[in-house]
Structure 1
Amino acid sequence: MDRFSKFHPIFHFLYFIGMFVLVVSVYNPFFVLPSLVGALLYEVKIRGKEALSSLKFSVVMILVIGLFNMLFAHYGLTVLFTIGDTEFTLEALFYGINQGFVVAAMVLWFGIFGRVVDSEKVIYAFRFAPKIALLFSMVLGFIPRFTKKLGDIETAALALDGGKKPKNKLKAALNNLSALVTYSLESSIITADSMTARGYNPKAVRYSRYKFKFADGVLIALSAVCLFYVIFAKASDRITFVIDPRIYSKTFDVLAFLLFLLLSFLPLITDLTEEFLWKISYAKN
């Protein structure tokens, strides 16, 4: 049961835009980490065991960016070890890990956005600009479609080679990419011809099944309050975290942290609340 994805498209767009802005702009590990955890828990709630791939990706991304930054950026006072004349510091490693948290959180939230906001919601939200809505919805639809097609191309290429892995992986990857580009161009032409043949008119009146409810208004107001207060706390230096030359939290606003925590776990909270109410209703009957 995914109650969060059933809310009004306007709320979804405002919520995800707010999350993207906060994750990128706040850049405080006390805020970025809850955002990452909230996205992971929602993934587990919706996808179950399939969400383990997201967890593995997040761990690898964080470790790679953290180690890369420590190896090539040298600042801070806490030296972990020295190789020759080069000092590798805890501050550089911590900054890289925090950067990995940001990247992993953004990727997870974009993935959730792609599953929650389908093409119909995009067209509804941008109905004042139908051509932009159509383009955006087609892009969202092409991403999973082309990802699946790339897997099919790789499987076919592997079968043609008798199940043997290619010796030149770079050449094989370029050949697969070339086949995918050819397929995407042909698919685009077929889609355009099909829409023309069916008399597509971007200005035509469309039926919408979305109705703005009281719960949507409450969630929009709640999200707006959380978003604006956290931005205010960031702009007024109430949630400042310092990494160079030493790692410490300069200022910390408890209310901003709690509101950001609520915003990060809002999808999971709405789903769990819906399940709890449904179970109570079922028990009464």
Structure 2
Amino acid sequence: MNRSGFAGYHPFINFIYFTAVLLFGMFFMHPVMQGIALVSASVYSILLRGKGAVRFQLIFMLPLLLFTAFINPAFSHAGVTILFYLRSGNPVTLESILYGISSACMFVTVLIWFSCYNAVMTSDKFIYLFGKLIPAMSLILSMVLRFVPRYKEQIKRISYAQRNIGKDVSQGNIIQRARNGLKILSIMTTWALENAIETADSMKSRGYGLTGRTSYSLYRFDNRDKGFMAVMLSLIVMIMIGEANGLYSMRFFPSIKAAAITPLSFLIYAAYLGFCMLPVIQHTMEAIKWRSITSKM
């Protein structure tokens, strides 16, 4: 088992971290908190996936961010600070623009965190955590979570195979391309159904979900995991203290009003930054330690 990076920690730690960071990203609308979450998620995504994450963020996430940010003022006209009027006579307010930007940041941040989750929380980790509690549901969820990357890879293989015999969606006229696309879709559907049946039969033959069934696992909650868990929970407690004191409150309508920034606010912001950047900090410290060891060899 690979014990490098944040993915090398116990699955329970991975799951708790992503659950917390996703919930914080969805409910904290304060601009400072959203900025911290968006930057941290982007940095960790690039650390996990390299150039692929950069392309994903520039090609998909950035346009989505801009589209979501600017579509809200076109439909929502609430707010007291009118900037100008559209040709239809509807006002565009500062509050609706800022709320659109905030909603867009929240949406994109959650999507990036989910991409990191899919890279770290593999299906075997999910089954390890929930296989005994909800065996059928955990199997279904693990299959759903791996659906997109696995099926994307399979459809590429089918497309390459069809291209070799001149029946890809990029070959022929419009009608032929449509027929080729339907053929690829048919092949993909057949493969998906057969794969689901084979997976179900395989799990059933192994006694998955039966009472008293034991399973071998390489995961152990060691001292390394305990130390990381203590730091993570401490930061979560500090973040929740800030929430209890209203340090993240943000109102957009009818007028903009944010919580006042106090010395405690900076402490909580630092705690949230540290929490969001925990995987990156851990990876950096591990890389420095490894370089120190190799330099002495």
Task: Please give the per-residue CA displacement for 1:91-130, whole angstroms capped at 9, x wherever unaligned.
Answer: 2121111111111111111111111111221122124323
SS of the residue corresponding to residue 128 of structure 1 reads coil
Residue 142 of structure 1 is matched in structure 2 by: 147
Q: Does 1:52 align with 2:54?
A: yes
- CA distance 1:275–1:261, change in 2 (3 Å): same
User: What is the TM-score with the length of structure 1 in the denominator?
Assistant: 0.86
Per mean C-alpha deviation after superposition, the further-off stretch among 100-109 and 157-166 is 157-166
- Contact persistence 1:240–1:251 (CA under 8 A): no
- CA distance 1:22–1:115, change in 2 (3 Å): same
Shift of 1:232: 3.4
Q: Does 1:188 align with 2:179?
A: no
Looking at structure 2, the residues matched to 170 and 237 of structure 1 have their Cα atoms a distance apart, in angstroms, of 56
Q: Does 1:279 align with 2:291?
A: yes
- CA distance 1:15–1:238, change in 2 (3 Å): same
Q: Does 1:109 align with 2:113?
A: yes
Per mean C-alpha deviation after superposition, the further-off stretch among 138-147 and 262-271 is 138-147
- Contact persistence 2:33–2:248 (CA under 8 A): no
Looking at structure 1, the residues matched to 252 and 280 of structure 2 have their Cα atoms a distance apart, in angstroms, of 31
- Contact persistence 2:26–2:106 (CA under 8 A): yes
Task: Please give the per-residue CA displacement for 1:147-174, whole angstroms capped at 9, x wherever unaligned.
Answer: 333445666599445526858x999988
- Contact persistence 1:241–1:251 (CA under 8 A): no
Residue 231 of structure 1 is matched in structure 2 by: 240
Residue 37 of structure 1 is matched in structure 2 by: 39
Residue 213 of structure 1 is matched in structure 2 by: 222
Residue 133 of structure 1 is matched in structure 2 by: 138
Per mean C-alpha deviation after superposition, the further-off stretch among 142-151 and 24-33 is 142-151
Shift of 1:243: 2.4
Looking at structure 2, the residues matched to 180 and 274 of structure 1 have their Cα atoms a distance apart, in angstroms, of 42
Per mean C-alpha deviation after superposition, the further-off stretch among 233-242 and 45-54 is 233-242
Shift of 1:181: 4.4
Gaps of 5+ in 2: none
Per mean C-alpha deviation after superposition, the further-off stretch among 183-192 and 89-98 is 183-192
Residue 15 of structure 1 is matched in structure 2 by: 17
Give the one of 71, 75, 100 matched to 1:68.
Answer: 71
SS of the residue corresponding to residue 146 of structure 2 reads helix
User: What is the TM-score with the length of structure 2 in the denominator?
Assistant: 0.83
- Contact persistence 1:3–1:274 (CA under 8 A): yes
Gaps of 5+ in 1: none
Percent of aligned pairs sharing the same letter: 27
What letter is aligned with 1:87? P
- Contact persistence 2:238–2:268 (CA under 8 A): yes
Task: Please give the per-residue CA displacement for 1:13-67, whole angstroms capped at 9, x wherever unaligned.
Answer: 1111111111111122211221111111112222221111232222111111111
Looking at structure 2, the residues matched to 24 and 161 of structure 1 have their Cα atoms a distance apart, in angstroms, of 39
Looking at structure 2, the residues matched to 254 and 94 of structure 1 have their Cα atoms a distance apart, in angstroms, of 23
Shift of 1:214: 1.7
Alignment RMSD (CA, Å): 3.0
What letter is aligned with 2:37? S
